[in-house]
C-alpha cells in the first residue's frame, strides 16, 4: 500500500469521525454555521424531527469512521474487506452525484468532498484486484 492510498484511507476515516462527532454533539450549531439552516425557525415538532434524524445519520457516519479505523488492516489487505470499504465509498459518492443531478450544485466545500470521495474510490477500485482473497 503506497503512502497516497494510506493518506486517502486515513483522511476519509478521520473526516467521518470528525464530521460524525460534530453532527452528533453540535447538530444545531453545525446546521446553522456550515449549512445555513437555522433550526430555531422551525416549529418544535419539525425541529426535533430534523435534529433527531440528523444526529442519527451523523452517528452512523461516526460509526463507519470508527469501523474503518478498527478494521483498517483487513480493509487495506483483504479483498472482501476492501470491497466493503469500496462499497462505502461508491455509495457515498453515488449519493452525492445523484444529489448534484436532482438537487443542483451545493456549496463549494461539498464539491471538494465529492471529488475527494471519487478519488478515494478510484484509487481503491484499482487496488482491489491486487489484494489476496482471504476470509
8 Cβ contact partners less than 8 Å away, ≥ 6 residues apart: 116, 119, 120, 123, 124
Q: Is residue 133 part of a domain?
A: no
pLDDT at 18: 96
Q: Is residue 116 part of a domain?
A: yes
Q: Is residue 135 part of a domain?
A: no
Question: Whose CA is closest to 51, among 29, 76, 21?
Answer: 29
Question: Whose CA is closest to 19, among 66, 89, 81, 85?
Answer: 66
Per-residue pLDDT of the chain (135 residues; tens, 9 = 90+): 688 889 999 999 999 999 999 999 999 999 999 999 999 999 999 999 999 999 999 999 999 999 999 999 999 888 888 889 999 999 998 999 999 999 999 999 889 988 998 898 888 888 766 766 665
Q: Is residue 134 part of a domain?
A: no
Q: Is residue 28 part of a domain?
A: yes
For residue 64, the enclosing domain spans: 3-128
Residue 20 to residues 3, 58, 60, Cα–Cα distance (Å): 25, 4, 7
Cα separation of 97 and 78, whole Å?
Answer: 28
How many domains would you assign to the chain?
Answer: 1
Residue 86 to residues 41, 64, 98, 112, Cα–Cα distance (Å): 39, 13, 18, 19
Amino acid at each position: 500500500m503506497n503512502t497516497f492510498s494510506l493518506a486517502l484511507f486515513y483522511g476519509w476515516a478521520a473526516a467521518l469521525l470528525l464530521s460524525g462527532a460534530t453532527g452528533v454533539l453540535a447538530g444545531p450549531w453545525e446546521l446553522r454555521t456550515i449549512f445555513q439552516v437555522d433550526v430555531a425557525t422551525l416549529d418544535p415538532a419539525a425541529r426535533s424531527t430534523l435534529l433527531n434524524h440528523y444526529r442519527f445519520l451523523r452517528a452512523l457516519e461516526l460509526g463507519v469512521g470508527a469501523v474503518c479505523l478498527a478494521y483498517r488492516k483487513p480493509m487495506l489487505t483483504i479483498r472482501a474487506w476492501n470491497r466493503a470499504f469500496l462499497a462505502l465509498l461508491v455509495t457515498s459518492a453515488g449519493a452525492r452525484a445523484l444529489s448534484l443531478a436532482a438537487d443542483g450544485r451545493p456549496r463549494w466545500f461539498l464539491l471538494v468532498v465529492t471529488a475527494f470521495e471519487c478519488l478515494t474510490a478510484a484509487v481503491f477500485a484499482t487496488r482491489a484486484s491486487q489484494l489476496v482473497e482471504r476470509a
